Chain A
Amino acid sequence: MKKKTKLLIKDSFFSSILTAIIVLFIAITFVNITFFNPFIKAFEDFDFLDMYYAENFGNSDEINTDIILVNVQNNSRETIANMLEEILEEEPRVIGLDVIFKDLKDFYSDSLLASVLDNEKIITAYNYNDEVYQYSNPLLVKNNIQGFTEINFDQETYVMRNFRGVKTAMDETEHFSFASQIAKQYLGDSYWSELEYDKKLRDINTIKYYGDYDSFQYLDSFDFFASYDKKSGMKDKIVLVGFFGVPTGNHLNVEDMKWTPLNNRVTGKSLPDMFGVVIHANILNMIIKNDFIYRLSNFWLGIIMFFCMFFCTMYFIKINKKYKISYRTRKRTFLFVFTIVLMGLALLLFKRGLVLRPIPIIAVAILAGSYFKYYKHLVRYIKTKRKWKTYIK
């Protein structure tokens, strides 16, 4: 290796270390200075990878036929009971009912509902938040398996990017999410254990969205009763019964609607875009197909950041020495191309099932270009004190 190259590598390495220290200092300062809170708040719900869904990069024309959604709309308990009975006749493997019937209403409709709900195929939902439980009335839901409906217990973030499948409560009892309970019932205990879901779903996992309600087979109550045909081959499928608008999909019915990465506004204010039951369907789809997205650990992200910083610094030091006049133009062009390539790569990796957050990497590349001049001054200062071999003039 040439002596010059060796010096360039040495300078790039030390400059990267210095930049890393400065970045770390800025990061800590940002976290701790209250003054910057509005700035942090503005960006805390932003994730570049939301673009993947918002811009339809993973768009598929296929309709999911494993999970069938049924919209209860604003129907009475009596109608819901009839719908459930019709569904049960089609012999699906599992039915998930994403509706909580907190109070009793009237004897007639309540008794109808209670008699239909008394079926082991029906999994019901309960609300579990801050160690407070909200179940359906025990006279209506008796022996059914139940699952909590919270998506991820993250109170700071409003966009549903992650989910938690299993949670241990303060009293050491284990709670399974609504989607987990349905998947467990659908897959069977042995396959569930084979996939080690008890452990895997305890962690926070990234939701792999299949799509909104219209990416699934769906029926509303009218479709259901308008014809007495057998419906959509429900046999052995999962049927999720919940509310997704009147008429179906009406995004102005914000009851039980959440923000998801599918929202076509990646930043700024917008209406929530997906009904809770559809989020459960998306989670369920990835659990039953064992189709998870893997998150790159912070350790590996740190390593990648350092290497990017190192190579960028090397390039900047080199062009800084070689092109005095056009240095800034070249640096900016390089950063522009680097940003686009990295964004494309991150989206492609996301499509392949790996989460690589590009923003921190782009940030360190930009900072590497800005902060290596501090290293330059530092080297000049050291040279006044002692002999120091360097690539930089």
Chain B
Amino acid sequence: MENIYKIKILAISFIIGCVFSSQGQNDFFVHFYKGVPFIEQNDSIKPISKGSIIEKDAKLVINKKDVVHLIDDKGEVYKISKTGKYKRKELKKLDAEKNSSSFSKSFFTSLWKQFTNAAASKKNKSAVVYRGDDILLMQNPIDSAKVYASEIGFKWKAIPNKTKDYYFILKDIETGKLTKFGTPTNELSLFMDDGMLKQGNNYQWAITETKYFKENELSFYNFRLITKSEFKALEPNIKELSNYLKSLGLTQKEIKSTISEDYKLYY
């Protein structure tokens, strides 16, 4: 009898322990990311942003060249760069980054640097500034925008008395392919054609005054053509926000422009 009682107690403790440990299981938040990793959840995908939570039934999808740093409740950092789909269970198995350097090792390393003067900066000190003047030209869509539309209108500042063409550069981030258009005006509309512009892809655009530009000297604006499922995920919030702005007395046009300017979403 006493044994059964003990077993019961042990079983209850085990169950309680399991419940608490699963509740205490860390949430994972995105602290840093590079590239276009996303979260797959219930047949829909959404791009990650800093602060996003990886929920229980979600999978973190890491593609080539993507890097994600996750943190848990304790503040431990998990750096992921290996391609794959990670369930929460798998994330829990990852090892957190640990600073293995001991105090004495750091102290003597620093001392050695001081003695050998290795700590001194060996950089030249040039007195000059770099200006990517082209960046000042781009206006719409703004940098890091999300676009869900069949037509995108690009607009840039017009330079007074300019007679020569502007050059519009479009770069597909995934393929690295550059497309160049010359136009005398300061506006250009491109259409979603599943060729040059594809939903779910990330692009960069820039305006330059010369057709012989150096790509690494250009300043680009980024934008992503979000998919239907991504837009659907955002839709309730857009509606809520639109209703709120409407209640403040803004017209439909003003609401759209506020959402584009402040929330970087064009639809």
Do B51 and A63 touch across chains, with their CB atoms under 8 A apart?
A: no
Do B74 and A232 touch across chains, with their CB atoms under 8 A apart?
A: no
User: Which residues from 44 to 98 on chain A have a C-beta closer than 8 Å to any C-beta of chain B?
Assistant: 51, 55-57, 59-65, 76, 78-79, 82
Task: Known contacts A55-B106, A78-B262, A82-B262; decide if A65 and B74 are in contact (CB<8 Å).
Answer: yes
Tell me which of A142-150, A221-229, A273-281 binds B. A221-229
B234 CB contacts on chain A under 8 angstroms: 228
Does B81 reach chain A (CB closer than 8 Å)?
no
Tell me which of A310-318, A319-327, A340-348 binds B. A340-348
In angstroms, Cα B53 to Cα A217, docked, is 13
Q: Per a CB cutoff under 8 Å, which of B73, B101, B262 touches A59?
A: B101
Q: Per a CB cutoff under 8 Å, which of A60, A222, A348 touches B144?
A: A222
In angstroms, Cα B245 to Cα A78, docked, is 11
Do A223 and B110 touch across chains, with their CB atoms under 8 A apart?
A: no
Do A223 and B144 touch across chains, with their CB atoms under 8 A apart?
A: no
Task: Known contacts A217-B51, A228-B234; decide if A55 and B110 are in contact (CB<8 Å).
Answer: yes
Task: Known contacts A228-B234, A233-B27, A348-B103; decide if A65 and B75 are in contact (CB<8 Å).
Answer: yes
Do A233 and B237 touch across chains, with their CB atoms under 8 A apart?
A: no
Does B212 reach chain A (CB closer than 8 Å)?
no
Does A102 reach chain B (CB closer than 8 Å)?
no
Task: Known contacts A223-B51, A228-B237; decide if A56 and B262 are in contact (CB<8 Å).
Answer: no
B111 CB contacts on chain A under 8 angstroms: 340
In angstroms, Cα B99 to Cα A233, docked, is 25
Is the interface on chain A under 10, 10 to 19, 20 to 34, or 35 or more residues?
A: 35 or more
Do B49 and A223 touch across chains, with their CB atoms under 8 A apart?
A: yes
Name B263's closest neighbour in chain A (CB-CB). Answer: A225
B73 CB contacts on chain A under 8 angstroms: 65, 233
Name A229's closest neighbour in chain B (CB-CB). Answer: B52
Q: Per a CB cutoff under 8 Å, which of A55, A76, A229 touches B51?
A: A229
Do A62 and B27 touch across chains, with their CB atoms under 8 A apart?
A: no
Do A225 and B264 touch across chains, with their CB atoms under 8 A apart?
A: yes
Does B107 reach chain A (CB closer than 8 Å)?
yes
A92 to chain B, nearest CB (A): 13
Given contacts A231-B51, A351-B103, 16 further A-B contacts (CB under 8 A): A55-B106, A63-B75, A64-B75, A78-B262, A108-B248, A217-B71, A224-B51, A225-B263, A226-B144, A226-B264, A227-B46, A227-B52, A228-B237, A230-B53, A233-B29, A233-B73
Closest CB pairs A-B (n = 7): A228-B237, A227-B49, A223-B50, A232-B51, A62-B75, A231-B51, A63-B75
